[in-house]
A and B are shown apart, each in its own frame.
Chain A
């Protein structure tokens, strides 16, 4: 089948998935409003504790990372719904290939994850006077790579859980744990020694590192963090691709 046909089908799926997101925007709204409220309330505290600019950077990047981790539930629910509605196998029975189906699904959810990060960074810059550093464009690197890691991670959760309850618990507990360990709730320097030692196992640690490096104009630090996030995205994405290609026709799950 021709490239225009494939592109058209991906476009059909992208538009369709954006419609689905738009019809159920509750999670997205919550994960936009809550971090903005927390940023506004906690900014003075962080600015005093970490002296000005560093405090603003910490509170904006911390809330961004924590609430984007909680937004794993948006990704997870988008994928899990296709299982519970049995629509994923129905889509597999159309002329669209597995890659087209996954791309169409992923692109819409990825756009939502990017929108969340951009709105929170915009709020930080516009309201809390977050300084975007000497190369603001550098921020695109951690934002895109963090979005990819979240997308793949959330989808990986959705293909292994047995239902919406498990997914919700995994996203809430996992999100808070990874955000806390990654230094999103409190600066790494203020965390206990054992927590600092294990912090690098959390993707949140690399997201925080990437954002801080980009805001400081540190290209090498930004690229290093981005590489780790992309590797995580690749690993989780492979699990997702293998599982979703098989579908759920005869599975005992759900």
Chain B
């Protein structure tokens, strides 16, 4: 569905993408994560046909998006990182223009607007100017513009930035539904628990390349978890270990550690830990 090969892009002396390879299959949600400047937005811009790569190819639903951007974009739904809506126009008008440009006409357009505004809980504000909506409602409107024409590929660039928990949950549910219907979803975010909720596989970007790709469990293997030992006097001891269960077994056989022990907690490594590990690695490289 979405297939990028060897994407390279330079801005002056800065390399934004350095041979990025990424495939997102039908029904798959890929969480694209990485530090600021890792190349996420450049990848989104190239895939959406907004920027030409210096080298490499992107295919959307089998169509070369670099050579035939207009044809490829018919199969793409984009929700950019920054709000890109007409504030003086109503939600309906915003959806009408983006739906119309995607090829929806009259009855099909009205049906699509009904469907996405119901899914994103926007029906009550359909005829209000977007500029008067809350930040969360504006975010949902933006996401709705990407969903209208039922594209084969969804490209969502930090779609929940600034969204409240209710908005976030509504949007995640819609994304999940679309993936279940066979849509390939590429989802960039800095809010990693969202990717857990979506059941996304992960692609970690650094310096314009995918440096790690896999399921959550695959990527977290080898990262240290934590054994938290709480004592009756209120003190706490943390033991970092790639195998916290083994660390616990060792701890309970050590009388020095069990004296006064009142609580035991094992914390498995999270995506945040993965992110922080990558940050430390990046700092080492920079140093």
Identify the A interface with B (CB < 8 A).
1, 5, 8-9, 12-13, 16, 19-20, 23-24, 85-87, 89-97, 247, 249-250
Contact = CB atoms under 8 A, between A and B. Distances in A.
B182 interface: no
A251 B279 CA distance: 28
B101 A87 contact: no
Contact of A95 (B45, B74, B80, B93): B74
Contacts of B145: 90
Nearest to A84: B87
A20 B88 contact: yes
A23 B89 contact: yes
Contacts, number: 80
Contact of B97 (A8, A12, A23): A12
B78 A5 contact: no
Given A12-B97, A250-B51, A94 B89 contact: no
Given A93-B48, A97-B70, 11 more contacts: A12-B100, A16-B89, A16-B97, A20-B86, A20-B88, A24-B88, A85-B86, A86-B80, A86-B83, A93-B76, A247-B50
Interface in B20-67: 45, 48-51
A105 to B, nearest CB: 12
Interface string B73-86: 11010101011111
B71 interface: yes
Contacts of B49: 92-93
Interface residues of B, number: 32
Contacts of B238: none
Interface of B: 11, 45, 48-51, 70-71, 73-74, 76, 78, 80, 82-89, 93, 96-98, 100-103, 105, 129, 145
A87 B45 CA distance: 14
A138 to B, nearest CB: 38
23 contacts: A5-B103, A12-B96, A12-B97, A13-B97, A16-B93, A85-B84, A87-B85, A87-B86, A89-B50, A90-B80, A90-B98, A90-B145, A91-B101, A92-B50, A93-B50, A93-B80, A94-B101, A95-B70, A96-B70, A247-B50, A249-B50, A250-B11, A250-B51
A8 B100 contact: yes
A94 B102 contact: yes
B78 A9 contact: no
B257 to A, nearest CB: 55
A89 B98 contact: no
A8 B45 contact: no
B101 A13 contact: yes
Contacts of A90: 78, 80, 84-85, 98, 145
B84 A16 contact: no
A44 to B, nearest CB: 41
